[in-house]
Amino acid sequence: MATSNGHANGNGEANGHTPINHESSELTVPIWINGKEEQLSSTFDVINPSTGKVAWKSASATNEDAARAVEAAQAALPAWRKTKAAYRRDIFLKAATILESRAEEYGKFMQIETGSGEGFSTHFNIPVSVNLLRDVAGRIATITATMPECAEEGRTAMVIKEPYGVVFGIAPWNAPYILGFRACVYALAAGNTTVLKGPELAPRCYWAIGKVLQEAGLPDGCVNVLAYPPSEAPVITKAIIEHPHIKKINFTGSTMVGSILSSICGKALKPCLMELGGKNSAIVLEDADLDLAAKECAFGSFFHAGQICMSTDRILAHTSILPAFKEKLFAAISSTFPSSPSPSQVMVNAAGVKKTKSLVTSALDSGAKVVYGTLGADEESNTRMRPIVVEGIQKGMDFYSEEAFGPAVGIVEVRSSEEAVDVMNDTGYGLSAAVFTRDLGVGIRIARGIESGAVHINRMTVHDEAGLPHGGVGRSGWGRFNATVGIEEFLKSKSITWMD
């Protein structure tokens, strides 16, 4: 049995919490089933992308383990769905306090497993997750019934909201605490129980999610956290989705995988929430504050090495301000992400670097040109890449329409706001967008014409907070996390009528 620190061979205290952040191939991260940490006979290595070395191992769940997790969630459901709003609220508030107290420790897990910087892990992911827990805690009591008027004289109706049952959440590695908590907490708030499948790249971060909720008093079986490698994922994930106790699925990840999973859900006639990729663009109009636009676009493009679903992939700049904007953009990039003496940012694996460079190379072969950065720059490892800006991106290039998910942004020259909106809507994606203009009325008009889940005026495309619905349209998915609508996603309506 593992200790309270998420490993099997440390010096953890049975009734306390001893922070341990060091790496060791002797450590094994357990899974969570029915409120207990479990070590399994099969494991897989977890690689630190900053060093290329094994950070620790993770227990690897089998089909049988997954079935036990679902059964545990089903067994916990009858009691949990009957709990009062105040009871659930207090658990989430306590979880927020616990998570906040372990920001440095759990932030370090994220740095080791994903290669993220301290700013994105300890000082962003943890605080945002803390706020998410507190926000959803305060919204649970807003779940209410209604009593609409019936057409028939003497008939009364009541429409109540009930949990679906057991919800299966699948979340990624790039913002593990925000996306992991989100994948289970809204369902739990609505009275469902959950099975949470974490990524093979960040199992210790997801172990920490289970630990926080368990210590906060969440009853056994309400959240069960699994990990397994990609080689096992198709079979195990399909089996979980098709399990008769699973009533709804939520997935955050790539459009390609989302398409596969939604197909499985469709065949099983099970509802699913899909938060997928984005080809997010920022429009810079002729009247924009160029200093502000440059700063926001630089950060939106290259924060966390561009490995955020809302990262800016394209900048649609008006032809009249393009030369001046580029000069300011390059200065903002150099200031925020200096090439020396700082090392370049780390991507989670070499495959991400290869994909991003391939998109850039393909664009160059079709006539685009690199106007900032060096595509073949020497790096400390094959998981590092410096910012690249490509100009001359046109329709027909892969870079025009395919998500980069890396530190590369393309500039598209436009001659009007109408053309900018047409280009913005020409990818099939619709997760996040930005518009830079000094005229709020113009910004709102453009925002209303953009097919996207969110549009941010005079701020970068990267923005997500607990009080705002989050999700996409088209190839970016459907359904919404966050705020009250995030709880409503995991409730179903039932009409009850009677004669007076």
User: Which backbone phi and psi does 54 adopt, to 5 degrees?
Assistant: -70, 120
Please report, for residues 48, 54, 90, 311, 387, the alpha-carbon distance to residue 360 in angstroms, rounded to integers and kept in the order given.
26, 30, 49, 16, 12
> Considering 309, 451, 488, 489, which one is annotated as catalytic?
309
120 closest CA partner among 272, 293, 277, 348: 348
> Considering 113, 200, 275, 403, which one is annotated as catalytic?
275
DSSP 66-88: HHHHHHHHHHHHHHHHTS-HHHH
Buried b (16+ CB within 10 A) or exposed e, 445-460: ebbebbbbbbbbbbbb
List strands edge to edge, sheet with 223-226.
36-38, 31-33, 223-226, 193-197, 166-170, 246-252, 272-275, 477-478
Do residues 363 and 357 touch, judged by C-beta distance below 8 A? no
Q: Which residue has the tokens 């036990």?
A: 68
**222 tagged catalytic:** no
Which residues are CB-contacts of 236 (< 8 A; sequence separation ≥ 6)? Answer: 61, 62, 63, 66, 228
**380 tagged catalytic:** no
Q: Which residue has the tokens 């892969």?
A: 398
- What's the CA gap between 301 and 186, in Å, rounded? 29
CA torsion, ordered 111, 214, 70, 471, to nearest 10 deg: -50
- What's the CA gap between 114 and 277, in Å, rounded? 18
Do residues 126 and 100 touch, judged by C-beta distance below 8 A? yes
Reduce the DSSP state of residue 269 to 3 states and report it. Answer: coil
Buried b (16+ CB within 10 A) or exposed e, 35-45: bebbebeebbe
**158 φ/ψ sector (left φ>0, alpha ψ -120 to 50, else beta):** beta
User: 234 - beta bridge partners?
Assistant: none
Which residues are CB-contacts of 42 (< 8 A; sequence separation ≥ 6)? Answer: 59, 60, 62
**What's the chain's Rg over C-alpha atoms?**
23
Q: How many CB atoms lie within 10 A of CB 478?
A: 16
Question: Which residues are annotated as catalytic?
Answer: 275, 309
